[in-house]
Amino acid sequence: MSHATEGELHAHLDGALSAIDPAAAARLAEHLDRCADCRARLDEERAIRACAADLLAAALPSVEEPPFEAVARPAGRPLPSATTHRFMWAASLVVALGAGWMGHALLGGHGDIASSELDGIAQTGSEEKEDRAVGRVSAFGEKAAAPAPEAAAAPEAGAPRDGITRNEIARTNGDWRAVSLEEAERWIATRVLRVPDLEITAVEAAAVEGRRVIRMRQALPGGGVLELVQEAESGREAAKAARPPSTLSVRIGGAWVRVSAPVASDSLRALVSRIR
Amino acid sequence: MSTDWGAVYTNTYQDLHRFLAGKVWDPDRAHDLVQETFVRALGHDPSDPRAWVFTVAANLARDEARSAVRHRRHLQLLRTEARDEEATEPEAPARMERERMREEIGRALDRLSLRDREVLLLWNSGNSYEEIARLTGLSAGAIGTTLARARKRLVREYEGSEKDVARNRR
């Protein structure tokens, strides 16, 4: 055989040549036995390979993986207590299901849309001032959240103000109680919507300004949290809800779903399409 | 049978993180992208989950590339400011030297062609020649040549920049 190519030498050093081309590996081994030049080149390439590996290892050190909590929970396992779970609010993903949201007005729709129709959902890159209010109240459940400005939750002119808003939820600090999934479904007299593959870490119920509301948290891969808020009644006129940046509004099974998350819109759509 | 994404996550997290960190050059952002990759994976049942998550991750990193360049410039500015503040700490010189090296390695990687860089990062993330070939569309026989070129260029660029640093210090 002619002298070994650099590619063959590196494939040999990587232990890959015999896997991708056993005949070439045999020829190279035989050639290296006879050719001092190629053995010297092999040593040079070995040094370059080691140096490159060292540089990459120095720049890209190994990391510990955070726990993956998004595996489906086996049926019948008890839910963990809401009070014992530490939530990563900063990375949280919020899904709110309520009587009405901005999306209702934007779509002007009545009736359901299937997940395959999600392309028609309203997507907002909101720049409205309510965004800041959402930022403040996103850690709901914590004490002493600043009272949200009334303007942020104000209804549109002429619209009855009966849709649940994040600001209203924030004002119910301390009223939430941990419940089982079954109790939650009895509380709102309907099925609790969720993403099936995600572990449920907490379910809580509360009365928000006279309306029955539940909220649920599900673990995302890598430690993020999906929050889901659902109200007993649905189908009423939308109240103007605060909109965080990058929001999807969609109607599923009679409930308006509003999703906002620190992930790309494609991922949001994927998550929304999985809510059942 | 549906994919056990928990097992895939455990088996690929470190490799995927290293791959993405090499592409976006920001460990925290790399973690975010790994998380986003697995959020997208839910409900999918690909025949080769490892290849699937690497493909999705590569696409996410490509979308990220432009903003990452801007972000990196910003971070470098911040680091320069932080360095001035940290210069009095006892361990500051060693840490600053490590950080400087890391930045030089990043710059050396940036000088590789996109294809060479991709193949090198995929190899560095534990992928076999066959897996790299499937992910990049190259033939398995071309991976060795590509890696030889990429490694050489990386080492040469890095050594060149180190010589510049030494010359400037004199």
Q: Comparing A179 with B88, which gets the higher pLDDT?
A: A179
Residues B33 and B112 in one domain: no
Residues B113 and B126 in one domain: yes
Q: Comparing A130 with A228, which gets the higher pLDDT?
A: A228
On chain A, the residues whose CB falls within 8 A of the CB of B151 are 10, 48-49, 51-52
Q: Comparing B98 with B47, which gets the higher pLDDT?
A: B47
Look at residue A13 in the predicted model and tell me its pLDDT: 95
Look at residue A161 in the predicted model and tell me its pLDDT: 38
* CA contacts within 13 A on the Cβ side of B91: 3
Alpha-carbon span A183 to A226, nearest angstrom: 20
Pairing of strands A255-260, A93-98: antiparallel
B63, A264: Cβ pair inside 8 Å? Answer: yes
Put simply, whether B100 touches A (Cβ < 8 Å) is: no
Residues B104 and B65 in one domain: no
Residues B95 and B170 in one domain: yes
Chain B residue with Cα closest to A53: B124
pLDDT over 70 for what percent of chain A?
Answer: 42
Range B74-81 average pLDDT: 53
Look at residue A234 in the predicted model and tell me its pLDDT: 47
Work out how many domains chain B is built from and give that number. Answer: 2
Domain closes at, from B49, B64, B86: B86
On chain A, the residues whose CB falls within 8 A of the CB of B5 are 68, 70-71, 197, 221
On chain B, the residues whose CB falls within 8 A of the CB of A92 are none
Amino acid, res. A263? V
- Asked whether B129 and B140 are in contact (CB, 8 A), the reply is yes
B10, A71: Cβ pair inside 8 Å? Answer: no
Residues B74 and B147 in one domain: no
On chain B, the residues whose CB falls within 8 A of the CB of A56 are 22, 105, 120, 124, 154
pLDDT tens string A100-126? 222 222 222 332 323 333 333 333 333
User: Distance, in angstroms, between A95 CA and closest chain B CA?
Assistant: 15
How high does pLDDT run on average in chain A? 60
B148, A270: Cβ pair inside 8 Å? Answer: no
Residues B69 and B119 in one domain: no
A55, B34: Cβ pair inside 8 Å? Answer: no
Its pTM stands at 0.54
Alpha-carbon span A204 to A184, nearest angstrom: 7
B34, A263: Cβ pair inside 8 Å? Answer: no
Look at residue A101 in the predicted model and tell me its pLDDT: 28
pLDDT tens string B23-36? 988 888 888 889 88
Alpha-carbon span A151 to A128, nearest angstrom: 12
Look at residue B76 in the predicted model and tell me its pLDDT: 55
CATH of residue B105's domain is 1.10.10.10
Range A244-262 average pLDDT: 54
- Asked whether A87 and A227 are in contact (CB, 8 A), the reply is no
User: Distance, in angstroms, between A61 CA and closest chain B CA?
Assistant: 7
Closest CA to A21 of A45, A5, A44, A37: A5
A198, B10: Cβ pair inside 8 Å? Answer: no
User: Distance, in angstroms, between B120 CA and closest chain A CA?
Assistant: 9
Range A37-51 average pLDDT: 95
Domain of B157?
91-170
Selected for mutation to probe chain A from B8, B39, B138 (highest A CB count within 10 Å) is B39
Residues B129 and B149 in one domain: yes
Q: Comparing A194 with A91, which gets the higher pLDDT?
A: A194
Residues B32 and B56 in one domain: yes
Look at residue A34 in the predicted model and tell me its pLDDT: 95
Domain closes at, from B64, B86, B108: B86
Residues B81 and B122 in one domain: no
- Asked whether B120 and B150 are in contact (CB, 8 A), the reply is yes
pLDDT at B119 over 70: yes
Residue in this structure with the two tokens 């301390």, named with its chain if needed: A174
Identify which of A10, A55, A222 has the shortest CB distance to residue B158. Answer: A55
ipTM associated with this complex? 0.83
Please give the backbone phi and psi of residue B94, each rounded to the nearest 5 degrees, phi first: -65, -40
Look at residue A257 in the predicted model and tell me its pLDDT: 54
CB-defined contacts A:B, below 8 A: 154
Look at residue A154 in the predicted model and tell me its pLDDT: 35
Look at residue A268 in the predicted model and tell me its pLDDT: 62
Residues B95 and B75 in one domain: no
Put simply, whether B5 touches A (Cβ < 8 Å) is: yes
Range A204-231 average pLDDT: 75
On chain A, the residues whose CB falls within 8 A of the CB of B147 are 7, 10-11, 14
- Provide the 10 A C-beta neighbour count for residue B82: 13
Identify the band that residue A89 occupies on the pLDDT scale cut at 50, 70 and 90: very low
| Residues recorded for chain B | 170
B5, A223: Cβ pair inside 8 Å? Answer: no
Give the CA-trace dihedral at B97, B99, B103, B108, to 10 degrees.
60
Identify the band that residue B64 occupies on the pLDDT scale cut at 50, 70 and 90: confident
Q: CB under 8 Å to B98, separation ≥6 — which residues?
A: A58
On chain A, the residues whose CB falls within 8 A of the CB of B36 are 263-264, 267
Identify the band that residue B7 occupies on the pLDDT scale cut at 50, 70 and 90: confident
Look at residue A272 in the predicted model and tell me its pLDDT: 66
Residues B119 and B58 in one domain: no
Residues B21 and B35 in one domain: yes
- Asked whether B130 and B84 are in contact (CB, 8 A), the reply is no
Chain B residue with Cα closest to A57: B124
On chain B, the residues whose CB falls within 8 A of the CB of A9 are 144, 148
| Least-confidence region, from A35-39, A99-103, A213-217 | A99-103
Domain closes at, from B54, B86, B118: B86
